[in-house]
């Protein structure tokens, strides 16, 4: 049987390896998280846009720093940054003493949206913890934070 918002039937999860399990669960929680935000806000923000916003929250990185440290193509990053600017979520400024480089930061609206989304994600994490157990969630987070020494 396929559960609500489930990508594949629960019975099929039993046959997946670690990589595919991580991928399935990641896709599922990202989809639920994006839907929760878009159901309560007039400002549609994609998962890729959230990913970029997370990298700049409370910082003023350069756009080149973002392109080097985000696993999205350079061209797509520029497209997402421009969309975020059009929505009034980020502002792009010149870097002092550097005519070519630009830096990016969240606007007050961008910070407000980011913080509201963090709250929605905490609610989702809480729902997961209620279902599988708070200790299990803590253990899972601890395991994911470990240095796996893989490259």
> Is 73 inside any structural domain?
yes
Distance CA 123, CA 113 (A): 15
Tens of pLDDT, residues 12-37: 788 889 999 999 999 999 999 999 99
CATH assignment at residue 127 = 1.10.10.10
Beta strands in the chain (DSSP E): 90-95, 98-106
The angle at the Cα of 117, spanning 135 to 8, to the nearest 5 degrees, equals 60
Structurally, the chain folds into a number of domains equal to 1
> Is 120 inside any structural domain?
yes
Domain that holds residue 33: 10-143
> Is 150 inside any structural domain?
no
Tens of pLDDT, residues 65-123: 999 988 899 999 999 999 999 999 999 998 888 888 899 999 999 999 999 999 999 99
> Is 75 inside any structural domain?
yes
> Is 3 inside any structural domain?
no
Predicted local distance difference test score (pLDDT) of residue 15: 85
> Is 118 inside any structural domain?
yes
Predicted local distance difference test score (pLDDT) of residue 96: 83
């Amino acid at each position: 049987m396929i559960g609500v918002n489930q990508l594949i039937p629960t019975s099929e999860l039993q046959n997946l390896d670690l990589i595919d399990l991580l991928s399935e669960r990641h896709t599922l929680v990202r989809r639920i998280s994006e839907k929760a935000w878009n159901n309560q806000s007039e400002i549609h923000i994609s998962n890729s846009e959230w990913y970029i916003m997370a990298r700049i929250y409370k910082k003023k990185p350069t756009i080149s720093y973002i392109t080097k440290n985000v696993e999205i193509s350079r061209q797509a990053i520029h497209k997402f940054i421009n969309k975020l600017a059009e929505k009034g979520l980020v502002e792009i400024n010149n870097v002092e003493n550097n005519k070519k480089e630009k830096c990016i930061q969240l606007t007050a609206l961008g910070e407000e949206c980011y913080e509201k989304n963090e709250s929605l994600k905490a609610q989702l994490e809480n729902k997961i913890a209620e279902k599988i157990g708070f200790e299990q969630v803590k253990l899972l987070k601890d395991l994911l934070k470990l240095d796996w020494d893989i490259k």
